């Protein structure tokens, strides 16, 4: 009888198109496990909303494995200690996993590989978090890309591996005791992020596949026309599924490509995810440090009271506040609104982008280190291929343009329900009709001037 092998699930909570799992099952029966590390050395361990998602995703994976004759072993502790121990207990001959690209995850992989080595075992990590591993996406001179357009061109013209099935995987049936879901502790301090949604989140591979199918059936062909309108249900909402690897980027890519050239707009957004991972891989300090050096001396005004107003969705600017309320209730915010809310924080309020990134990290069900840091650096103007700082989003014009009827605003801001027509974009003009809604915390024109003046102090170097 051949020895079993361990498959260490991380941000790949699926059984479909998983190269590491296919490789593992070619060697022996598989012991799937997930390790909860309560004291990770990672300063970016999952936040409140992300932990909620993780709980439900692990439940879904357990059920899926049960249907396939396997069992998910959930353990608590340090992977570098638990994996060699588990291998010794089961006689496993190797440990397989997906290669993650976040700095702390890469470091952990090295620790685990070293500790397995001491037990004469190997860690086999397969790529797959991104469509193409950053090492294979270098520019002709060997450097990493800094600009999106040539990156996108290269990705679009490249050969993206087709998804594969893991249907033939056999699972080990030996006795092992898994930590029960009631002891995972992932739901502490969280709410039900689905409660306010017409179509609730469904974490797990099954939910991811259903979302992909319904997006392709009814939205992908209108994506370019409607993707910026938060009231229209035009985007895929695949981001949390992609973050936890419940669907592979390859599956998403090939499913979209099969829809024809109309899917290109969608594919280019998927490429932004890819580009963000590429940048994070090349710049491991991207979550904390501005990629454009002059922005490290930017004269921020870290005002706690304004930060609290922003977090609570009480700035007096409807599009910003609607986004922040959507985030609090659903763990999600539409991309256009993320840009406006984030820009408002770091330009109108001059609060460091890192504060906003931390808050999003805690609140988003799709919190993803690469895309969150990339998104914030893009908005703050300090990313490598970022929006120029001097282009300060006007939250009123953005709201009038992308939510002209105010449907999105009224969905998340019940205080504005009495406002008719365009007045919903400027509630301060009719305060008697929205008595519970705050006055703007800053004046747009003054705030814009202050932002540009602050930028002036570093402009010559940027």
Q: Report in angstroms how near the CB of residue 238 gets to ligand FAD at its nearest.
A: 4
| Shorter beta-carbon distance to ligand FAD: residue 127 or 287 | 287
| Shorter beta-carbon distance to ligand FAD: residue 27 or 264 | 264
Note if 376 is an active site residue: yes
Closest CA to 345 of 319, 307, 372, 313: 307
User: 350 — alpha (psi -120 to 50), left (phi > 0) or beta?
Assistant: left
User: Which residue is catalytic, options 152, 184, 353, 412?
Assistant: 353
Q: Report in angstroms how near the CB of residue 395 gets to ligand FAD at its nearest.
A: 14
Note if 300 is an active site residue: yes
User: Which residue is catalytic, options 300, 359, 400, 428?
Assistant: 300
Please check whether residue 236 is in contact with residue 96, taking contact to mean a CB–CB distance below 8 angstroms.
Answer: no
242-279: burial string, b at 16+ Cβ within 10 Å, e else: bbbbbbbbbbbbbbbeeeeeebbebbbbbbbbbbbbbb
Give the helix, strand, coil percentages of the chain, each rounded to 5.
50, 5, 45
E strands within 123-272? 123-126
Note if 269 is an active site residue: yes
Closest CA to 396 of 334, 336, 318, 337: 318
Q: What's the gap between Cα 106 and its chain centre? A: 18
Note if 233 is an active site residue: no
User: Which residue is catalytic, options 184, 355, 376, 378?
Assistant: 376
| Shorter beta-carbon distance to ligand FAD: residue 73 or 339 | 339
Note if 335 is an active site residue: yes
| Shorter beta-carbon distance to ligand FAD: residue 34 or 277 | 277
Which 3 state secondary structure label does DSSP give 332?
coil
Q: What is the DSSP letter of 424?
A: G
Which 3 state secondary structure label does DSSP give 76?
strand
Q: Could you give the strand order of the β-sheet that contains 95-98, starting from the edge strand earlier in sequence?
A: 73-76, 30-36, 5-9, 95-98, 123-126
Annotated binding site for FAD, which residues?
Answer: 223, 266, 366-368
Q: Report in angstroms how near the CB of residue 7 gets to ligand FAD at its nearest.
A: 24
Note if 304 is an active site residue: no
β-pairing, 95-98 vs 123-126, is parallel
| Shorter beta-carbon distance to ligand FAD: residue 209 or 276 | 276
Q: Report in angstroms how near the CB of residue 237 gets to ligand FAD at its nearest.
A: 4
| Shorter beta-carbon distance to ligand FAD: residue 129 or 276 | 276
Q: Report in angstroms how near the CB of residue 213 gets to ligand FAD at its nearest.
A: 14
Number of Cβ atoms within 10 Å of the Cβ of 170: 13
Q: Report in angstroms how near the CB of residue 338 gets to ligand FAD at its nearest.
A: 4
What's the chain's length in residues? 462
The CA distance from 154 to 162, in Å, is 17
Applying CB under 6 A, which residues contact ligand FAD?
227, 235-239, 242-243, 269-270, 272-273, 276, 335, 338-339, 342, 360, 364, 366-368, 371-372, 375-376, 379
Catalytic residues: 269, 272, 300, 335, 353, 376
């Amino acid at each position: 009888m051949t020895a079993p092998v361990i498959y260490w699930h991380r941000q790949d909570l699926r059984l479909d198109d998983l190269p590491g799992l296919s490789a593992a099952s070619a060697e022996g029966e598989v012991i799937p496990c997930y390790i909860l590390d309560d004291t990770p050395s990672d300063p970016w361990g999952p936040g409140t909303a992300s932990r909620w998602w993780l709980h439900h995703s692990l439940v879904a994976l357990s059920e899926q494995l049960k249907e396939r004759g396997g069992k998910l072993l959930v353990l608590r502790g340090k992977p570098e200690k638990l994996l060699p121990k588990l291998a010794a207990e089961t006689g496993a001959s190797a440990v397989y996993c997906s290669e993650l690209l976040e700095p702390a995850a890469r470091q952990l992989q090295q620790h685990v590989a070293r500790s397995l080595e001491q037990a004469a075992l190997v860690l086999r990590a397969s790529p797959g978090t991104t469509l193409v591993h950053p090492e294979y996406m270098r520019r002709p001179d060997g450097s990493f890309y800094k600009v999106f357009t040539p990156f996108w061109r290269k990705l679009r013209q490249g050969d993206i591996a087709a998804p594969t099935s893991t249907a033939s995987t056999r699972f080990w049936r030996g006795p092992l005791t898994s930590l029960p879901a009631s002891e995972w502790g992932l739901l502490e301090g969280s709410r039900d992020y689905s409660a306010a949604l017409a179509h609730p989140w469904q974490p797990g591979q099954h939910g991811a596949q259903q979302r992909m199918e319904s997006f392709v059936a009814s939205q992908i062909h209108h994506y370019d026309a409607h993707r910026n309108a938060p009231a229209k249900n035009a985007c895929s909402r695949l981001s949390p599924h992609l973050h936890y690897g419940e669907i592979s980027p390859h599956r998403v890519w090939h499913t979209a490509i099969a829809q024809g050239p109309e899917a290109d707009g969608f594919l280019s957004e998927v490429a932004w995810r890819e580009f963000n991972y590429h940048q994070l891989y090349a710049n491991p300090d991207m979550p904390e440090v501005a990629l454009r050096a002059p922005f490290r001396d930017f004269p921020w005004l870290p005002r706690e009271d304004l930060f609290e107003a922003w977090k609570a969705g009480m700035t007096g600017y409807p599009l910003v506040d609607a986004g922040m309320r959507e985030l609090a209730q659903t763990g999600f915010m539409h991309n256009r609104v993320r840009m406006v809310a984030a820009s408002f924080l770091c330009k109108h309020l001059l609060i460091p982008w890192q504060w906003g990134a931390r808050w999003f990290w805690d609140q988003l069900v799709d919190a993803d280190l690469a895309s969150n840091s990339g998104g914030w650096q893009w908005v703050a103007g300090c990313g490598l291929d970022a929006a120029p700082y001097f282009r300060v989003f006007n939250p009123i014009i953005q709201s009038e343009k992308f939510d002209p009827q105010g449907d999105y605003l009224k969905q998340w801001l019940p205080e504005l329900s009495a406002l008719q027509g365009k007045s919903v974009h400027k509630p301060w003009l009719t305060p008697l009709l929205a008595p519970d809604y705050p006055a703007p915390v800053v004046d747009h024109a003054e705030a814009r001037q202050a932002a540009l003046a602050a930028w002036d102090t570093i402009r010559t170097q940027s």
